[in-house]
Homo-oligomer: A and B are copies of this chain.
Amino acid sequence: MIVKETNIRVPYGHTDQMGFVYYGNYPLYYEMGRTESLRSMGTSYKELEDDQVLMPVIDMNIKYLKPARYDDLLTIRTIVKELPSTRMKFFYEIYNQSGELLNQGETTLIFLSQQRNRPVRCPQWMLDIFANEFAKS
């Protein structure tokens, strides 16, 4: 299991008139969690796109447990439980600065060849990176 953490400071523009983070901003937080988890493994989503492979999200579940608020310093915990094949699952937990679990979710992404516009397997070089991380954990 790979577990990576990154922080996000909630901007004013992400709140709504309830005084909470608008529910539609969490997918962005998940994306930031995914991106930074890849970066901390020594690669990046950008590198994947440079290899002409896209990773669109095909499925997402979110549980909104408690509201996040303006200026909260959130911790996004991004979890990978198994090696990707043609699909890849990410799990997320979002905590505030008091350590309260505010939000939980998961996304399923596919690997898509940009030229052929068709699903493909996770590129071998990226699989090696994940396998290496699993070996360390």
**Alpha-carbon gap, A63 to B124, bound state (A):** 27
A95 to chain B, nearest CB (A): 18
In this complex, which of A11, A46, A71 has the most chain B Cβ atoms within 10 angstroms of its Cβ? A11
**Alpha-carbon gap, A24 to B44, bound state (A):** 20
Contacting residue for A31 out of B17, B19, B24, CB 8 A: B24
Size bin of chain A's contact surface: 35 or more
Copies in the assembly, this chain: 4
- Judged by DSSP, the binding face of A is mixed
Residues from chain B with Cβ under 8 Å of A56 in the complex = 18, 20, 23, 64, 67
> Is A16 close to B, CB under 8 A?
yes
A-B contact pairs, 16 of them (CB 8 A): A9-B35, A9-B36, A12-B45, A15-B17, A16-B17, A17-B17, A20-B56, A23-B56, A23-B57, A24-B24, A24-B27, A24-B28, A57-B64, A58-B65, A59-B61, A60-B64
